[in-house]
Amino acid sequence: MSLLVVGLNHRTVPVELLERMTVPEDRLAKALHDLAAREHLLEVVLLSTCNRTEIYARCTQFHAAVGDVRDFLAAHSGADPDEFADHLYTYYDEAAVAHLFSVAAGLDSMIVGESEILGQVREAWQTGVREQTAPQLLSRMFKHAVESGKRVRTETGISRHPVSIPSAAVAVAAEHLGDLDGARVLVIGAGHMGSGLASTLRSRGVAEVVVANRTVERAERLATQIGARAIPLTEIADTLVDTDVLLTSTASSEVLVERAMVEMVMACRDGRPLLVVDVALPRDVDPGVGDIPDVTLLDLDDLKEYAQRSAERRRGEIGKVRAILAAEIERYRAERAAREVGPLVTSLRDLAEDVRRGELERFRAKLAKLDPDARELIDAITQGVINKLLHEPTVRVKDAAGTPRGDYYADALASLFDLPTEPTVESE
């Protein structure tokens, strides 16, 4: 049984393709069960954010499992596999573990050290556990990755002066306008990202923040927290007439801001420019909005330059992060090996005891003719033979746990004696 991750991210594909691969939150459970039902995928966790879509799996065969994931992505996105196959990255076993730990630590993010990804990794793990698609190995791996991500942020400066996608979006908006003081801003979305946008804006001295959301009650709760005003989505056009900046990030699978609506709004603004920053994936804003005179449309691709500058400031911490991750990965590997070797050794001893008892039972009639002391002696001798035969192999496999030699020993024992290798299900 092996670990596998197959995915695409902001570095490997353009936004247009990445947004087609995104799995919205309301479709995540169905997607997990779709993946788990495939022949070569035993456990599955799906991590889908505005920067990546990755499938982590415990699989039976590497190439067949990659094929299962590719088929899922094609069916989900409606894309021809040839359209995205060259953009996929795959990691196997130890490389898959290292990749997840790097993601949780923020090293693989568009903005190095960004804070949102750790929570997203945790949510992906918890969803897999809740939907019972990651009951064992993947659950333990994700739990350890989340713990490592917390340690990295506590012991290094990788997240010092936190930079997140919301803060980056606001910073980029400020760069384009020169300043946000006195600006009127409309935020569409009151979820995690929208809350981050609204809170960051309020700390930048804007004149007014308006929050729009499909569920008005949620917009009102966020507005109350930051001293903003809440509106339903139906009032977006009217509000945009007097807005300087539109920031949007929802989980909608449909475009919320159409070109025709913005053209109508701009006709009422007397030539005043409008800045639109869309950090949603799939995108909330019709890309054609960027072609309207006096409208500047920025999306995730436009945050990459800012992200690169941020990475330069944090580069000095990356070595420290990698050292922590190396230690944590080694600890995880040792714990995994010990967890798997323990039941394996127990299974081997149980098998030997079953054989011993079976043979004694086979000769029960003859043994019954012996006196009790002789029968006890035979029982003790056969137990001693089993213990002596198994002592050295079990000591060696336990001592080597967590090393390549230990993996070899464990695989050999399981194969030679046809021992079960599945760990027992544990609650996390």
Whether residue 287 is preceded by a cis peptide bond, meaning omega within 30 degrees of 0, is no
Q: State the DSSP code for 425.
A: P
149 and 322 in contact (C-beta within 8 Å)?
no
- Catalytic residue (one of 21, 41, 50, 321): 50
Contact 239, 231 (CB under 8 A): yes
For 81-228, strand residue ranges (E) read: 89-92, 184-188, 208-213
In a 3-state reduction of DSSP, which class is residue 53? strand
User: 419 by DSSP, 3-state: which?
Assistant: coil
Q: How far apart are CA 277 and CA 298, in angstroms?
A: 5
Burial 242-276 (b: 16+ CB within 10 A, else e): ebbbbbbbbbbeebbbebeebeebbeeeeeeebbb
Angle (deg, nearest 10), helices 116-130 and 192-202: 160
Task: Please give the single-letter amino acid code of residue 193.
Answer: M
268 as an active site residue: the answer is: no
For 238, phi then psi, to 5°, come to -60, -40
Q: Which residue has the tokens 């087609």?
A: 20
Dihedral sign (CA 33, 37, 43, 45)? negative
Helix axes 94-105 and 304-362, enclosed angle (nearest 10): 140
- Per the DSSP assignment, residues forming a β-bridge with 6 are 55, 90
How distant, in Å, are the alpha carbons of 54, 56, 133 from that of 38?
Answer: 16, 14, 12
Q: Three-state SS across 200-264?
A: HHHCCCCCEEEEEECCHHHHHHHHHHHCCEEEEHHHHHHHHCCCCEEEECCCCCCCCECHHHHHH
Task: State whether residue 29 is helix, strand or coil.
Answer: helix
Residues annotated as catalytic are 50
